[in-house]
A and B are shown apart, each in its own frame.
Chain A
Amino acid sequence: MNPETLRQIRGAKDLLEDAIEALAVSVGEAQRKMTRQPYALLARIEPISKPVRAIEEAHLRIADGVYFSIRLGNRLVGIAANFALDRFERQE
């Protein structure tokens, strides 16, 4: 494989990794905002406001965990791909 093609493959990998990272952050933030809306309404009802807050907190933590996992997985796949490309380049 010529060095230009390898450089482009590496570039495409970097771009995909950046795009997944940026999308995971943006979608995570949008979901956070949307998640808060119904809880904010329910929390106005005094007798249930405490449990509502607790459920909201749990909900947000789970959602954050999902997006963190996506970002972590993306990063790990990126590192693995870099490692594979480096090995391939050395063999060439």
Chain B
Amino acid sequence: MNIRGLGFTTLLICSVILPAMATQQLCSTASPQNPKAESVYSEIGKAPEKARAKRNPLEKDPDAIAAGRILFEQRCAECHGHNAEGGKKGPGLRAPEIQNAEPGAIFWILTNGVVRKGMPVWAKLPEPQRWQLVSFLKSLGATPAKTETLLSGPRQPQPRDLSLPHH
């Protein structure tokens, strides 16, 4: 290898990889207000009947939500926001489209991704971990807000702080 080789290397990085990074970022904006978010939500409706009918085997597991929360922070928060409120790349997961969806449909989306719209396939997580994520996502629904309303009267819903104490 010589100077020519190193020059070629630099050229390759500049001409291919960096523009690929930039293009990917410039093209990916799926905030909750963005129309792209709607099209991502619509993907959940494409889950087959058989997938929708699947029950969450960890529904009654007391640790599933806490474990799912850690998994969410590690894998999902970067795109969907730390409070699942939606981010630059991924739509909010507190939306009714998600909260009203069957657990099986959410599991199906996690397993298959929405590859053409930027959502990666998460089948590399073992099945129980995907169900733990489903448990956590469903826990973001209306139940805690109702509890808050009962405790403190009607008010604007606030995103819950998902941060966990570090052990």
Whether chain B is bound by chain A comes out as: no
